[in-house]
Every structure is written in structure tokens, then in C-alpha cells.
A and B are shown apart, each in its own frame.
Chain A
């Protein structure tokens, strides 16, 4: 991928943020490209909101620089930064109508009356709130407040839109619908979106690229597929999707991967990893949906265990298999594929996987 040709919207360079003695952000560097839907993903307290607030200007960096389209902004007050924010609890002005809320930013930027009116109408139309323009925020439902907050933040045509967990206050159905709408809105407006969330499903569904954070450190940056298929460490592997992590010993390193042994002594073929040599301890990552179950007698690769739990989830059946060394593996088999045999608790099963499915992570 040739990122070099793209315009960089936000360039975070070696930014450190400390609150007293607590380090919220440890030397973070990040490039967000023009017209990108970029997500910062991580558990609560990982520093993702801090990073967003540093970009918006609500917090001052302890050290480092932030550039917005090549302009250095980290010392500017928030009202001088051409970025707008959608807040987690929306922060709509309670004493103003929806239309007045949406008009606020343009008015502050010094737009003319006609320009303001036209923009407000266009924005309310964009978020399908045209007929609620004269309502007060306390007369709106959560979803409507969300839309009003979006319209208000987009109206002044920011160079970058920052979204701080904007969907977390909505119920599940609405949240799923808003995901699509947000993505669509981003494509229609062409504004760069920086979206903060703790919900990995949300991140995978919407983002062009994702930065995974924990403990104030950006662990990995990449596309959804890259992060899911190729996590750089245990944290990312665990945080994104369901994961089996097996402790293995590397036996032999070849050009097309390496052969390892798992706890039960069974061999496991893993894809190649950097800086791995024979005899080393490592950790193998296998996604549950990449594993298949077969009757123990028919299985021939030697990973054998007994079914401890079988959960019917509609689209999938999820098994928990206890290997003979006491490690348990999770296996998801798609329901209705026709080829899958169903197993019951206590059945002896063999676990099968294709070459290249297991990935080695450095310990």
C-alpha cells in the first residue's frame, strides 16, 4: 500500500500526555489521511479519548506536536482549530432550538444570515431532521439528539470531524442503523472522520483504518482485515474478535512457515513470523471460526480433546473443547453449511485446521 501519495489530514508526532504523575498517552505517533474514516479503538481508560481531546484542543499536550494539514495546531485554543467534535452525551445547548444549535458554529465563524439559514436547512436535511428544527434538545429522543449533534458539528464544514463514542448512548438497534448512516455521511461529505469507540464490532464495520490502543500506547494501526487477521500482539488479538491463544514451542522454521508443538505434544503448522527461531517459546493465534471439528477416530493431525460445552447461537454453533493438557479451545462452526456434524458434550473430537490458519506471535 502506498500511503505516501495520500494527503495527511492529521499528523500526531511523538505526543505525550500526562495528568500529574499519570501518563495517559505514551509518545503516540499517528497519521490520519484525508477523507478517511479512522477509528481509535480500545478499552476504557486506554487513552483514546485523551488523544481525541488533544486533537480538539480541550487538553494541552505535555510534549510532541500535532499537525492539521501541515499546520501545527497543538498550541492553538479549541476555538481556533478547524475541527469539530460530536460529544458522547451530545452536549447540545439546552436553551436553543435544534436549528439554533446547528447555526451556532457557522454564526461564530462569521457567516452571513442567508448563508447560515441555507446551511442549517441543508444540514438538517442531511441528517433527516428538517421537521424538528424548532424543537428544544429536551424534546428529542436519543437518536434525534445524536443527529442534531452531528448536524451541528458538520455545519461549519470542519476539516476533520472528531466523534467521541457518539453511539454508546443509543440502544442496540439504533446503534446498528446509525453505523451505516455515519459511514454514508462520511462518504457524502468527504470530511475526514476520527471516531473513538470501545466497541470492536463498530470499529470493524465502519472504518477504513483502525488504531488499537491500550495503556496509553497505540498497539497497532491498520485496516480492519489486517488487524483481525494479523494482530501484532496478544492484546490486539484478544481485543479484536474471539481468539484462541496457545502456548507452543517452535520446532523447525521453514520458508513457508514453521512447525511447532502444542502442550499435548501434537504438531501445529504455523505461518511464518519474524524473529522466530527453533527451540523458542511462542504463542499461536487461531480464530475459532477457522477450526473444524471431526470425530476423533477420523481425525489425523493429533489435536484431540473432548467437547465441554456446545452453544447454539443461531448462525453458529460454538464449542468449547478441552484438550488433553487442560487447555481449552473455542471452535465456531457455521450453522446450516450442511457438512458439519453436530457434537454433544463429552464427545471425543479431533480439531482440524488448514495450513496457514495459525499465526505465531512473539511472546
Chain B
């Protein structure tokens, strides 16, 4: 331990003169491809919309105002709270939350299973988890729709087995969206949990059993708390992209199950869009996510 730390320090000292130079590529990437777009969005959200898409360089809070208030068709009625977009936001949070729970319920046992395989076969299982990702997300989501449609293979199987008497309507429901999100992001849950379960020392479970704890108590009081960093990392990695997802809600949820991602996507598509409004919605989403992460990290440092 001490040896590697010392080596690390020596190595970093050797690189000392070039340190700034070595950092330039990552700074460039983060700056050009992360910070600039976000700042651009922030800027656009305060500009006036052009009717054929694009913006007029005039400062206004109209986009944010439109998100929260309803001022009638001509904009001169007394302001009322506009619920449409807030409802879409809340629905998105609920959908993403449920998808995250679904991923957790399926992903945790899967990760545990992989971590408890013999060392040599673990990489095969991990590889299998990532195989679906070789196929484009759009194709995967469409295939999901094909699988669960009214006269699709899933319904035919269940009908054939006599489990149901008429086909289940899954497509165009909230559940279909959760299923799509679950399928899209499952590995983001499995991999971090695998990483922490793999490091989990199973003598801790033995020690707990030795101290009169039954199986469920060991799971709840020892295993879950010890691997919780992996669970939280996985949940964040699933929840955040789910929140902004638009493919699964569009393709599987139909028009009734609009989510933030679709809302934002609409604003930048074709001629009907409203760039400042889309940018404002993005900024609100970003702020909510950052706030949630901030609260979480505060809590982590406190414990």
C-alpha cells in the first residue's frame, strides 16, 4: 500500500513540469463540448423566439414565464399558473423514479449473481450484460414495442399458455415507458452495483450470521448499507438519463405520456419549435438534477 502510494507520488513528481500541458486535452473537451453548449442553452433561454425556429437577439424572460404562467391566447389575461408543463415534469420524475426502482429490483440480484460467480466467468457475464448496447437505442426501443404490442410475441405466448384470455394492452401505457427506460439503462445499474458487491467482503455476512443475524437481517443491515455507494451511483446513472429520455416515451408511451425529453425535443424539431422555451425547460431540468445531486452529496459528507 505504502509502496504504491510512494510510487504514485514519485510518478506525479516526474510529470510535474508538464502537468498543465497534460491537462489541456481534457480541459478542451470539457470546455468546448460541455460548458459551451450548456452556456449557449442558458443564453438562448433568455432570448426571444423566432417563429421558424432559431432566436432573435433580444433579452426576455418570456420562455420561463411561459413555462410557469398562462396569460391567455393574446398574453393580456391576468396570469394563472400553467399546469401543463409542471405536470409533464412531475410525470417525468415519477416515470424515471419507477424505471430506476425497476432497474434496481432486477439489477441488484443480477449484479450479485455476477459478483458471486467464479473469477474466470465473471467477465463473460459482464460482457453479456453489455451485448444489447451494440445495437442502436432506437432499434432496441422499436423492438421492445414489437415484443409487447397487442398481437406481439409476449401476448401470443401468454395467450398460448392460457395465462390470459385477451391480449394485454401494454403499448401506450406508463408501464411500457418504464419498461423501455428499464431496458435502455439497466447496465448503468448493474455495473456500479457489481463493482461494489465484487469488493464486498463476504466474511462480513459470516460475522453477522455468527452474531445471530438471519438472512434478511444480513441483507438489510450489512450487505445493503456496505454496497450502498454502488446502489446510489447506479440509481443516479439510471434516473438522470431516464428523466431526459425521449425515445422510450415517444415510441412506447404514445401522445398521452409526454415526458420532459420529448417536450424539449419538440421545441428544436422542424419549424414548429420554440428554441428559447426548449432551452428554458432544459435549464429547469438541469437545475433540478444539480440540486438533487447537491443535496445527496451534502448528506454523504455529513454521515
A→B interface (CB under 8 Å): 56-58, 77-80, 83-85, 87, 89, 91-95, 104-105, 108-109, 152-153, 156
How many angstroms from the CA of A85 to the CA of B207 in the assembled complex? 7
CB contact between B211 and one of A57, A89, A94, A105 (< 8 Å): that residue: A105
Instruction: Give the Cβ gap from B217 to chain A, nearest Cβ, in Å.
Output: 7
Question: Which residues from chain B contact A95 at a C-beta distance below 8 Å?
Answer: 225-226
Given A87-B203, A108-B217: A94 touches B210 (CB 8 Å cut-off): no
Instruction: Give the Cβ gap from B218 to chain A, nearest Cβ, in Å.
Output: 9
Question: Which residues from chain A contact B211 at a C-beta distance below 8 Å?
Answer: 79, 84, 104-105, 108, 152-153, 156
Chain A interface SS verdict (over half): mixed
CB contact between A78 and one of B210, B217, B225 (< 8 Å): that residue: B210
Write the B217-243 contact mask toward A (1 if CB under 8 angstroms, else 0): 100001001100000000000000000
- Whether a CB of chain A sits under 8 angstroms from the CB of B204 is yes
How many angstroms from the CA of A307 to the CA of B149 in the assembled complex? 93
How many angstroms from the CA of A104 to the CA of B214 in the assembled complex? 12
How many angstroms from the CA of A84 to the CA of B209 in the assembled complex? 10
Instruction: Give the Cβ gap from B226 to chain A, nearest Cβ, in Å.
Output: 6
Given A91-B201, A93-B204: A85 touches B210 (CB 8 Å cut-off): yes
CB contact between B207 and one of A77, A91, A109 (< 8 Å): that residue: A91
Instruction: Give the Cβ gap from A110 to chain B, nearest Cβ, in Å.
Output: 9
Given A94-B226, A95-B226: A108 touches B204 (CB 8 Å cut-off): no
> Are B203 and A89 in contact (CB-based, < 8 A)?
yes
B→A interface (CB under 8 Å): 201, 203-204, 206-214, 217, 222, 225-226
How many angstroms from the CA of A90 to the CA of B218 in the assembled complex? 17
Chain B residue with Cβ nearest A77: B209
> Are A91 and B212 in contact (CB-based, < 8 A)?
no
Question: Which residues from chain B contact A152 at a C-beta distance below 8 Å?
Answer: 211
> Are A84 and B204 in contact (CB-based, < 8 A)?
no
Question: Which residues from chain A contact B214 at a C-beta distance below 8 Å?
Answer: 79
CB contact between B210 and one of A84, A92, A93, A109 (< 8 Å): that residue: A84
> Are B208 and A104 in contact (CB-based, < 8 A)?
yes
Most B C-beta atoms less than 10 A away, residue of A80, A89, A94, A108: A108
How many angstroms from the CA of A93 to the CA of B208 in the assembled complex? 9
How many angstroms from the CA of A12 to the CA of B208 in the assembled complex? 24
Chain A residue with Cβ nearest B205: A91
How many angstroms from the CA of A79 to the CA of B208 in the assembled complex? 8
Question: Which residues from chain A contact B210 at a C-beta distance below 8 Å?
Answer: 56-58, 78-79, 83-85, 153
Chain A residue with Cβ nearest B214: A79
> Are B212 and A79 in contact (CB-based, < 8 A)?
yes
> Are A79 and B209 in contact (CB-based, < 8 A)?
yes
22 pairs, CB–CB < 8 Å, chain A vs chain B: A56-B210, A78-B209, A79-B209, A79-B211, A79-B212, A79-B213, A84-B210, A85-B206, A89-B201, A89-B203, A91-B201, A91-B203, A91-B206, A91-B207, A92-B207, A104-B213, A108-B211, A108-B213, A108-B217, A109-B212, A156-B211, A156-B212
Instruction: Give the Cβ gap from B196 to chain A, nearest Cβ, in Å.
Output: 12
Most A C-beta atoms less than 10 A away, residue of B207, B214, B226: B207
How many angstroms from the CA of A93 to the CA of B211 in the assembled complex? 12
> Are A105 and B206 in contact (CB-based, < 8 A)?
no
Chain B residue with Cβ nearest A103: B211
Question: Which residues from chain B contact A57 at a C-beta distance below 8 Å?
Answer: 209-210
